[in-house]
Amino acid sequence: MSSVVLITGASSGIGNLTARALAGAGHTVYASMRDPGGRNADHAGELLDFARHNGLDLRIVELDVRDQASVDAAVTTVVEATGRLDTVVHNAGHLFVGYVEAFTAENVTSLFDVNVIGAQRVNRAVLPHLRARRSGTLLYVGSTSSVVVPAFLGPYVASKAAFDILAQVTAYEVGRFGIETTIVMPGPFTKGTSHFPNADHAGDIPVARDYDAVLGDMVARNEAATETLFRGADADPVAVAEEITRILALPPGTRPFRSVVDFTDAGVEELTDALLEAQEKFLDRMGFGELFPGAAPPRPAA
């Protein structure tokens, strides 16, 4: 079933690949990005050329997740043009690499503004429409890093963990409005996206040098670790776009709450399955079992 989809952070990487895949599957896709007439003009033009060449309904809308007015304007554009909004793919995000102490408080605040608060801004804009329609899907592109917690990515991992928790608790609350949630958790992809090439590094260089003196060259160690992790694996981020497309093709009520796309054999599926079971049991003991995604609606009082 085709739907109207808004994707954040679609200028490149997983967001861009997902826009192409969903449009190819017959959805009306709004690929959002910052400054599509300027810094991202080439990315916007490539997507529009792809749509024209393949006869797809793929559109560009300007959206900066750091700016509530920009988010509100983008959502209004979608709803006014199509009369509805069915699905939001929360994909916008940024990567920080470095030692935790070497990041200033301002560095970390800016990262959380994009990776966590940005999703909240988008939800604040879209949820009134979804609640009014009593339907819709929120699909979050999370990260296995929030489970396995790799080294040298502290602020990023913390932001993805916060993003994940915000997604889950929001799911509890909006589910009674017929709004479904799925959290797709990609493992690391060092090729095919701009995530690692465009990553920011810690701003306090003297502190970073102190750590390098004790721990060794972080960049060299990361490169060696990555080569080991992906040996023999075909780690193509297209797999994430394909999984998102598969999930959104499933009938409402049958979509998974979590899906892991990982080529590093980190065991995240087993960990998340156990965590979901514990969370469901805990909510039930609290008397809120009906809020857990996929739970049956509460029975009316006798």
Q: CATH no. for residue 12?
A: 3.40.50.720
pLDDT of 126 over the 50 cut: yes
Residue 215 lies in a domain: yes
Closest by alpha carbon to 182, among 214, 216, 229, 140? Answer: 140
Residue 166 lies in a domain: yes
Tokens of 299: 């029975």
What does the pLDDT look like over 7-54, one tens digit per residue?
A: 999 999 999 999 999 999 999 999 999 999 999 999 999 999 999 999
Residue 116 lies in a domain: yes
| Eight-state DSSP code of residue 105 | H
Tokens of 60: 């560009």
Q: End-to-end CA distance of the chain, in Å?
A: 38
pTM of the shown model: 0.91
Residue 301 lies in a domain: no
Confidence grade of residue 133 (pLDDT, cut at 50, 70, 90): very high
Residue 298 lies in a domain: no
Residues labelled as active-site residues: 156
| 85 compared with 153, residue with greater pLDDT | 85
Domain extent at residue 153:
4-291
DSSP of 107-155: HHHHHHIIIIIHHHHHHHHHHHHHHHHT-EEEEEE--THHHH--TTBHH
Domain count, the chain: 1
Residue 254 lies in a domain: yes
Closest by alpha carbon to 230, among 200, 187, 196, 195? Answer: 187
Residue 89 lies in a domain: yes
Alpha-carbon gap, residue 176 to 120, rounded angstroms: 19
What does the pLDDT look like over 157-216, one tens digit per residue?
A: 999 999 999 999 999 999 999 999 999 999 887 666 665 667 777 778 899 888 888 887
Residue 299 lies in a domain: no
